[in-house]
Amino acid sequence: MPEKLKLHGAKIPLFPGVEEWFERINRYASTQNILLEHYIVSSGIEEMILGTSIAKHFRHIFGCKYHYDPKSRYAKWPAVAINYTTKTQFIFRINKGVLNCYNDASVNEYVERERRPVPFDRMIYVGDGDTDIPCMRLVKEQGGCSIAVFDVDNWYQASSQDKIEKLIAEDRVNYAVPGDYQKNSQLDVMVKGVLRKISRKASG
């Protein structure tokens, strides 16, 4: 049942400072004459994401979904499946303002870059898992900014450091920082700098 999945979602542990992040970074963006929008593209279950305390901050959430029996409310079959190879299509949907999972005609329609609602060069993609790598590379190659965040508690594991090394060596991300969203953290300062850069380019 979707209601039970939302209850489970409410228990998902979040990175430090993420609950206060959105209002603070939105205020900063407004000082740079930027209207900031937030989206989620996840291989997780959408109902669980909707159960988190931060779900209200996102304009749209793309996640895996079940089709539910309208009477019993039990899941019947997977309706939307998102993995590392399919995630990139949702970045194009955001880019073109097609905020659904079914309108393939519109997302494949040619639209001049300057007419797209969310240009790639004004995107900041923050990823924390292997399934984010294709999207991080796409956004970076299209002129946006990709940031890999990692769990500080796992930093001294050789596998964690190896992943970061590869992301940088293979030119897939712009930055790699700890998953700390608190005020004055590396991520906080870095994103503010990127927003200032976007604002400078837009006005100049």
pLDDT in tens, 138-192: 999 999 999 999 998 888 888 889 999 999 999 999 999 999 999 999 999 999 9
Burial (CB count within 10 angstroms: exposed 0-12, middle 13-18, buried 19+), residue 21: buried
- Distance in angstroms (rounded) separating the CA atoms of residues 108 and 188: 35
Most confident of 33-42, 92-101, 103-112, 195-204: 33-42
- Distance in angstroms (rounded) separating the CA atoms of residues 57 and 110: 30
pLDDT-above-90 percentage for the chain: 72
Q: Tokens in use for 147?
A: 């940031």
Higher per-residue pLDDT: 69 or 57: 57
Return mean pLDDT, the chain: 92
How many domains, in total, are found in the chain?
1
Q: 146: domain CATH number?
A: 3.40.50
Residue 195, pLDDT > 90, answer yes
Q: Tokens in use for 37?
A: 């929008």
pTM, two decimals, is: 0.92
- Distance in angstroms (rounded) separating the CA atoms of residues 129 and 96: 25
Q: Quote the pLDDT of residue 28.
A: 98
Q: What single letter denotes the amino acid at residue 186?
A: Q
Q: Quote the pLDDT of residue 74.
A: 83
Measured N-to-C along each axis, helices 18-31 and 186-203 cross at an angle, to the nearest 10 degrees, of 30
Residue 134, pLDDT > 90, answer yes
130: containing domain:
2-203
Give the 3-state secondary structure of the chain.
CHHHHHHHHCCCCCCCCHHHHHHHHHHHHHHCCCCCCCEEEEEEEHHHHHCCCCHHHCCEEEEEEEEECCCCCCEEEEEECCCCCCHHHHHHHHHHCCCCCCCHHHHHCCCCHHHCCCCHHHCEEEECCHHHHHHHHHHHHCCCEEEEEECHHHCCCHHHHHHHHHHHHCCCCCEEEECCCCCCCHHHHHHHHHHHHHHHHHHC
